[in-house]
Amino acid sequence: MSIGVAFEIALGSLERNVALEVKLAGCALCESAERMQKLCAAMRANDKAQALDLRDAGLSDGALQQLVAALATGAMPALSRLDTRGNPGLGAAAATLLHGLRRLRPKVGVVLAGADSEDGGLSADTDVFACSRELLEGLTAWPTFELVEKQGANDLRCPVCNSATLKPGKITSGGNQHRCESENGCGSYFLQTIGIGDLTLIGLRRRPPG
């Protein structure tokens, strides 16, 4: 079976909303921009599939970012497993994207690129975003308990520049806004989500040092 035919079959199962597991392994998703556009559109229309197999699918960081953006905004609400192994085109940004997805969709179990067993996935307790050079607006997040400057206090340290205290802003339906506004701060701003409590990067004004 050709790669194109395999992709169309998998795409059809997504569009028809009939399969619990969708297999896109080996489908060369980055072969054309149209292929990625079709896939993201089909993902948004699917509310039944529980597993998405992207092994050896020719993913790049840019393609993965499109897929994560779709999932982060509600695509495939029944999804519980995402397998991204065997994609050498994924770089350092991939781990950041997938960790971000785990924060936004905690019920989605992710098998990381490069994991060599079924147990090589991410859990919600995994240390996240250790690589400060890979900061993605709307996806990078930190547990607020890691940012509290003094025990019993409400002040939060800016996780981007690590040299300033965040200033609370207005309260929105999605959570509490914070901004790094001190003299030595970086100007980045964040949203502390209601319920989960994580601090998500919303805007990055300048890159952190180093």
Domain 3-122 - what CATH class?
alpha beta
pLDDT grade for 132, boundaries at 50, 70 and 90 = very low
62 has a pLDDT exceeding 50: yes
| Chain-centroid distance, C-alpha 165 | 26
47 has a pLDDT exceeding 90: yes
Average of per-residue pLDDT across 112-122: 44
Average of per-residue pLDDT across 1-6: 80
pTM beyond cutoff 0.75: no
Long-range contacts of 193-200 (CB under 8 A, 24+ apart): 196/103, 197/143, 197/144, 198/103, 198/141, 198/142, 198/143, 198/144, 199/141, 199/142, 199/143, 199/144, 199/147, 199/156, 199/159, 200/103, 200/138, 200/139, 200/140, 200/141
131 has a pLDDT exceeding 80: no
What's the pLDDT tens digit per position in 164-205? Answer: 889 888 888 778 899 988 777 788 989 887 765 678 888 887
In the chain, where are the structural domains located? 3-122, 141-203
More confident of the two residues 170 and 135: 170
